[in-house]
Chains A and B, each alone.
Chain A
Amino acid sequence: MKLLDRWKILIGQSIVLAPMLASPFTEAGQAQLAADDWLPQPNSAPPAFKNTLNASDAVNVYAAHRSHSSHSSHSSHYSSSGGYSAPRYSAPTTSYYSAPAPTTNVYRSSTPSTNTITTPHPSTTRGAMPVSAPVAATPAATDVSMLVRRVQLALMIKKYYSGAIDGVLGNGTRGSIMAFQADSGIANSGRMDTPTLNALGIAIP
């Protein structure tokens, strides 16, 4: 063959094959275009498809006695990517029910006096109800008064106490506690000690 013909064949074939060089860029294929840092994208690789036929730790289902629970060979051996840690989302402190009922305002303005409770009440208001109430808002004094109330309630049901359920450890309450302790064979201390609380059926805290 003459040299010119060889050259024509060579050039012709090159022209035909040239589009093949660009083919990697025409596919939206598995090989992703890497980012500037050339690192693999950790969250976009396909997950492992280990199943009971091809997993290296798969149990031979024909040999083993089938149990009810699934085999742990299904769990992916996919390594977790370190590095990125999402910021912790804390529960919103906005008052819940952020869609206010339209009648609320009417109710408030027309009958303001019924909004307050006449009974002694801890510090929480009837306004916004924060979801994450700080612990400091419930002082220890309130815990004690609640415990006294529970004691007074229990004594009332057992007919030892008939005064007000006011959370105050006064003479009447103390007297009722002592009477209960005497009847129950507990040391007569007049205090809300553990045997007394147990006998009244009050779990602590």
Chain B
Amino acid sequence: MLRRDTQFDVRHVVMPKLLKVVTPEELIEKGITICAGKADFDDLILWMAAANESYHEQLMTLPVGGFLFQEEVTPQSSCGAIILAAPRDPEVVQPGDVIAISPDTNVVRVVYRRKANSNLLFMTDRCNSLCLMCSQPPKDVDDRWHVDENLRLLDLIDPGPEQLGISGGEPTLYRDGLLAIIRHAAVTVPEKALHVLSNGRLLSDSSWIADLKTLGHPNITWGIPLYADNARDHDEVVNAPGAFAETMAGLYNLHRAGQQIEIRMVLSKLTVGRLPEWSHFVFRNLPFTKHVALMGIENTGLAKKNYEALWIDPADYQTQLALAAHFLDIRGLVVSVYNLPLCVLEPTLGRFYRQSISDWKNLFIDTCQACSAKHACAGFFKSHSPRWQSRNIHPLSLQELETLQGAPYEVA
């Protein structure tokens, strides 16, 4: 699991900036086309490998935005370009990544990672709900600058197909910014699939429909959580009265606007009780759903505080989970199970299972070392603790893998 930021010795940074990390070899081969959109050499930071030290001096005459050294560097007064040197964690920033630097700090953030299996456009820390299991507790700040950063980021990332998440907080809080980002992505990187995570409440305003219809993005999905088949239970989970009604209205508006919808469910003590009824509700009232995601809970953020209300051993809800998943599956909805360790899963659910935990936030425990399914398992969240561990965690033998139905190599 790899951090997303680290400290560097930073020199000559005068304004906040995004930079694309590029090796000399890549610069030779691709030039500025290494970036997907409009970029120029000032947006590049050259990766100065120790092996190339003999021509570092010549490299530093290149008109790139800066130079990145893995070891310490003696200050050279002749060069005014940005210098990043001596990272505390040298694995964090790698060629192909896009980093964010700022004059007020020596922390360098990786906002896009070439080798990650999921990259995210972070929209805002604000949210209009306060879910009991929120993994990203909201802050009341004016962070509109994320919009501009993401617009710039779309120009600097690698071209090529991948899935980009758009999340926060609540992305729809910056309505114009969100629409601008989606439109810019449709123009700059149309080969990348967008996955917007939103509670959908603000989409209950039907003026969104016309805007969404003109988005013109070839591949975008809206992931909207629905935690119950009734308002009382849903509003209790999201800690916002009226949320269920707003979300349902938002879902219908999304459908009117021709958008693809994914319904998300977080499995906790508050939600598994009526899981079969919920699946029935989704089928009857939201039959246009393209995907249903049933997700294990992440022990981070507000979930830690609400342990008593939320925690239920996954082994105790496998029956309801199977009922809900098979109910939807047989009726033609695509179902996935995320964020659970493979060993606690009911065997018939194998084919819905996805390795869903991002590689920068997953880990395995000691028991997993003897497991034959580690390559196919999502593992645990980095925030995992024994309190949140199922009693059924055990290494899977090859025989158990055989009875687990479905392809073990499918990835989220």
Partner of A117, one of B63, B144, B148: B63
**Are A78 and B256 within 8 A (Cβ)?**
yes
> Does A205 have its Cβ within 8 Å of any Cβ on chain B?
yes
What is the minimal beta-carbon distance from B189 to any residue of chain A, in angstroms?
14
CA distance in complex: A107, B11 (Å): 12
B147-162 vs A: 1/0 string, CB under 8 Å?
0110110010000000
CA distance in complex: A158, B173 (Å): 53
Which chain B residue has the least Cβ–Cβ distance from A90? B180
> Does B287 have its Cβ within 8 Å of any Cβ on chain A?
yes
Among B12, B30, B288, B290, the one with the most A-chain Cβ atoms within 10 Å of its Cβ is B288
Among A70, A86, A126, A166, the one with the most B-chain Cβ atoms within 10 Å of its Cβ is A70
Which chain A residue has the least Cβ–Cβ distance from B77? A114
Partner of A98, one of B58, B63, B144, B210: B144
**Are B17 and A129 within 8 A (Cβ)?**
yes
Selected interface stretch from B21-29, B228-236, B266-274:
B21-29
Query: Chain B residues near A166 (CB, 8 Å)?
Result: 61
Which chain A residue has the least Cβ–Cβ distance from B60? A119
Partner of A126, one of B15, B32, B63: B15
**Are A96 and B151 within 8 A (Cβ)?**
yes
Interface residues of B in 186-222 (CB under 8 A from A): 206, 209-211, 213-214
Query: Chain A residues near B291 (CB, 8 Å)?
Result: 70
> Does B255 have its Cβ within 8 Å of any Cβ on chain A?
yes
Partner of A157, one of B24, B152, B209, B330: B24
Q: With A122-B63, A126-B14, A205-B33 in contact, is A97–B28 under 8 Å at CB?
A: no
Q: With A69-B334, A154-B28, A202-B29 in contact, is A47–B62 under 8 Å at CB?
A: no
A43-69 vs B: 1/0 string, CB under 8 Å?
110110111110000010100001011
What is the minimal beta-carbon distance from B64 to any residue of chain A, in angstroms?
9
Partner of A89, one of B27, B31, B104, B183: B183
Partner of B332, one of A70, A103, A157: A70
**Are B80 and A118 within 8 A (Cβ)?**
yes
Count B-side interface residues using an 8 Å CB cutoff.
71
Selected interface stretch from A5-13, A31-39, A142-150, A169-177:
A142-150
CA distance in complex: A47, B16 (Å): 46
Q: With A76-B288, A117-B80 in contact, is A107–B152 under 8 Å at CB?
A: no
What is the minimal beta-carbon distance from A194 to any residue of chain B, in angstroms?
15
- Inter-chain pairs besides A74-B333, A96-B149, A135-B38, 17 sampled, C-beta below 8 Å: A76-B288, A85-B214, A92-B151, A103-B104, A104-B104, A119-B61, A119-B79, A119-B81, A124-B42, A131-B155, A146-B32, A150-B27, A153-B28, A157-B25, A162-B58, A165-B58, A165-B59
Residue numbers of B with Cβ under 8 A of A are 12, 14-17, 24-25, 27-33, 38, 40-42, 52, 55, 58-59, 61-63, 78-81, 102-104, 142-145, 148-149, 151-152, 155, 176, 179-180, 183-184, 206, 209-211, 213-214, 252-253, 255-256, 258, 283-285, 287-291, 329-334
* A/B interface sample: 9 pairs, CB < 8 A: A43-B210, A43-B256, A51-B283, A102-B104, A115-B80, A126-B14, A131-B155, A153-B28, A162-B58
